[in-house]
Amino acid sequence: MKIDKQLHLISDGNFSEQHLQLVKRIQAEMDYLHIREKNKTAKDILEIIGALENIGLPLEKIIVNDRVDIAVIKQCAGVQLAYHSPSIPLVKESFPKLKAGKSVHSLAEAEQAQQEGADYVLYGHIYSSKSKANQQPRGLTELQKMTNALSVPVYAIGGITPERTKEVTAAGAAGIAVMSGIWQAEDPVRTVSAYRQALNSWKGGRR
């Protein structure tokens, strides 16, 4: 059975009207938008989500980083948790309908997240990336080890281009998460289409 690979777009901390207009053009080709705006207040984030609703983005496509309260208030798809966030068991026990993802950087962290009830993990960075310029990338071999060991979906992040997408999915990733690769692209709309095409060309079945 062929399983579609997902495209997650991560906001870059500077969400603006320009970002909003791009989302409006590409929303059909992305699976989820992660609202990752660390320096914005709860009110700011609620306003961003309201603006996204106004352009027709379904709440089922929105994942809020860290702010469980906002994800619940707006009935978004889920929340992306980090090491400083509320624990997965607490979130799942309190809000069982909320999808809970965990950002991980090692197999041990990923296995713990799965054991605690995470619906998926976000793992990276796979390749060198602008946002992690001084950190060693983890690479495809470590990604393969993780996807072999886990039963929950693993989404890969970090330096993934449309050209690299196939080798990432071949290593078992359930999809990819992209930030600067889309927001900073010369032609973001065309770039999203290239990511989508690469993801759709995956011929494997359920892992």
Res. 129: pLDDT tops 90: no
Q: Which of 8, 19, 34, 125 is catalytic?
A: 125
Task: Give dist(CA 200, CA 180) in Å, integer.
Answer: 21
Res. 167: pLDDT tops 80: yes
Task: Give dist(CA 195, CA 191) in Å, integer.
Answer: 6
Q: Do the Cβ atoms of 98 and 91 come closer than 8 Å? A: yes
125 is catalytic: yes
Please report which confidence band the pLDDT of residue 202 belongs to, taking 50, 70 and 90 as the band edges.
confident
Does residue 118 sit in helix, strand or coil? coil
pLDDT for 62-104, tens place per residue?
Answer: 999 999 999 999 999 999 999 999 999 999 999 999 999 999 9
pLDDT for 42-62, tens place per residue?
Answer: 999 999 999 999 999 999 999
Buried b (16+ CB within 10 A) or exposed e, 87-115: ebeebbeebeebbbbbbbbebebbeebbe
Task: Give dist(CA 77, CA 63) in Å, integer.
Answer: 6
